[in-house]
């Protein structure tokens, strides 16, 4: 590097170092803080939603457990003494198979009932359709008409 | 006496969102000026700087406190500016280097040209450079960063940063010579 190059490099460095900082508009800081607050609130809402979903799932699991405990106890009371006898396990399994076959035999009946139920739907009075349409329309209007937040710009 | 950057960061990381306002106060002019000199549009620069702060706030839990904060924040701003340039249809050379035509043997420069490098002139010269050169020069001389930090900000190897700094200075000199010849 010769002296002339060194001097020019220093002059360039000094000129760039002396460049002034510019300031953004007055609302800049407020805009950033509003966006951050919106983001934090959204994160908090998500946390609450997850907690609510967790609580609901746990509640449903407890309810199902409670409802199933009676039949389960009855099932155990029926089969446990039989299974504990010598050679009773095979007998208990055969009994279970027979009950399963009986339940499978009832399936067409169940499907027939569901089919009948579905067949009733077109015959429902129009007032239900009007009610459903009103609810759907109200939901769409609410979704479209909700005011957009300024902080959502970013 | 105001809080130090480290204290503010500590409070932010502990979940105090209001402490981020102190970081915005400390960096808003620097980030906005940096974005303005790259984008050359006040509205786009403000948008990029604002987006950078919001992204930084979101990414704060992943920030390594052992590393300096400024290069991390400038890296996010760099990305926001590159996004803005791409959105505006400008091509930004990221993967390969542009090799601007430079004279092999530069004629000697008049000392008075270097002496006359005032703010307005250097601002115009920087604005005339491709962003990859003006950015490297601004980070080194205006933000006082070393090649390692600049490499982190620009996402390129240190050698590339050194080459960009050299070429940026040479381009400025070449333009000064042309300006001197036409005076």
List, for residues A69-117, the tens digit of each pLDDT value: 887 888 788 788 878 888 888 888 888 888 888 888 888 888 888 878 7
In this predicted model, what pLDDT tens digit does every residue of A30-84 receive, in sequence order? 999 999 999 888 888 888 999 989 888 998 888 888 888 887 888 788 788 878 8
What CATH topology corresponds to B5-87?
A: Rna Polymerase Sigma Factor; Chain: A (1.10.1740)
The torsion angles phi and psi of A25, rounded to 5 degrees, stand at: -65, 165
What CATH topology corresponds to B111-182?
A: Arc Repressor Mutant, subunit A (1.10.10)
**Interface check B108 vs A, CB under 8 A:** yes
Nearest-CA distance A40 → chain B (Å): 8
Q: What is the ipTM of this complex?
A: 0.82
Terminal CA-to-CA distance of chain B, rounded, Å? 51
Binned at pLDDT 50, 70 and 90, residue B87 comes out as confident
Tell me if B24 and A18 make a contact (CB, 8 A cut-off): no
Q: Which ranges of chain B does DSSP label H, i.e. alpha helix?
A: 5-13, 20-39, 42-59, 69-87, 111-115, 119-128, 131-137, 147-154, 158-182
Tell me if A36 and B17 make a contact (CB, 8 A cut-off): yes
3-state secondary structure chain A: CCHHHHHHHHHHHHHHHCCCCCCCCCCHHHHHHHHHHHHHHHHHHHHHHHHHHHHHHHHHHHHHHHHHHHHHHHHHHHHHHHHHCCCHHHHHHHHHHHHHHHHHHCHHHHHHHHHHHHHHHHHCCHHHHHHHHHHHHHHHHHHHHCCCCHHHHC
Distance of CA A61 to the CA centre of its chain: 17
Tell me if B123 and A36 make a contact (CB, 8 A cut-off): no
Domain ranges of chain B: 5-87, 111-182
**The pLDDT of residue A22 is above 80:** yes
Of B54, B169, B173, the CB nearest to A154: B54
Distance of CA A65 to the CA centre of its chain: 22
In this predicted model, what pLDDT tens digit does every residue of B129-162 receive, in sequence order? 998 999 999 999 999 999 999 999 999 999 999 9
d(Cα A46, Cα A40) in Å, to the nearest integer? 10
Residues of chain A with C-beta less than 8 angstroms from the C-beta of B20: 33, 36
């Amino acid at each position: 590097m010769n002296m002339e190059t060194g001097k020019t490099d220093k002059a360039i460095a000094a000129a760039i170092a002396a460049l002034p900082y510019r300031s953004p508009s007055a609302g800049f800081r407020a805009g950033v803080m509003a966006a951050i607050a919106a983001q934090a609130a959204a994160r908090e809402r998500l946390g609450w939603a997850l907690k609510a979903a967790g609580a609901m799932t746990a509640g449903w699991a407890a309810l199902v457990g409670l409802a199933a405990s009676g039949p389960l106890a009855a099932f155990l009371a029926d089969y446990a003494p039989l299974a504990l006898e010598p050679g009773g396990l095979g007998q208990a399994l055969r009994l279970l198979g027979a009950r399963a076959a009986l339940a499978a035999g009832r399936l067409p009946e169940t499907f027939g009932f569901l089919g009948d139920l579905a067949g009733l739907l077109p015959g429902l009075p129009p007032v239900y359709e009007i009610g459903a349409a009103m609810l759907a329309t109200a939901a769409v209007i609410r979704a479209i008409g909700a005011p957009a937040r300024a902080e959502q710009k970013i | 006496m105001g809080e130090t950057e480290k204290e503010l960061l500590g409070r932010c990381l502990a979940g105090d969102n209001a402490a981020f306002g102190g970081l915005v106060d400390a960096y808003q002019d620097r980030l906005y000026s940096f974005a303005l000199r790259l984008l050359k549009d006040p509205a786009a620069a403000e948008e990029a700087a604002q987006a950078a702060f919001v992204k930084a706030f979101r990414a704060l839990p992943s920030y390594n406190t052992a590393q300096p904060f400024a290069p991390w924040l400038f890296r996010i701003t760099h990305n926001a500016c590159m996004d803005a340039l791409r959105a505006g249809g400008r091509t930004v050379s990221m993967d390969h280097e542009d090799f601007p035509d430079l004279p092999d043997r530069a004629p000697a420069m008049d000392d008075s040209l270097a002496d006359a490098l005032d703010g307005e002139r250097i601002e115009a010269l920087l604005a005339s450079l491709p962003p990859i050169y003006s950015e490297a020069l601004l980070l080194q001389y205006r933000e006082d960063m070393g090649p390692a930090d600049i490499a982190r900000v620009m996402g390129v190897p240190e050698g590339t940063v050194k080459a960009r700094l050299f070429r940026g200075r040479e381009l400025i000199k070449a333009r000064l010579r042309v300006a001197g010849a036409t005076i």
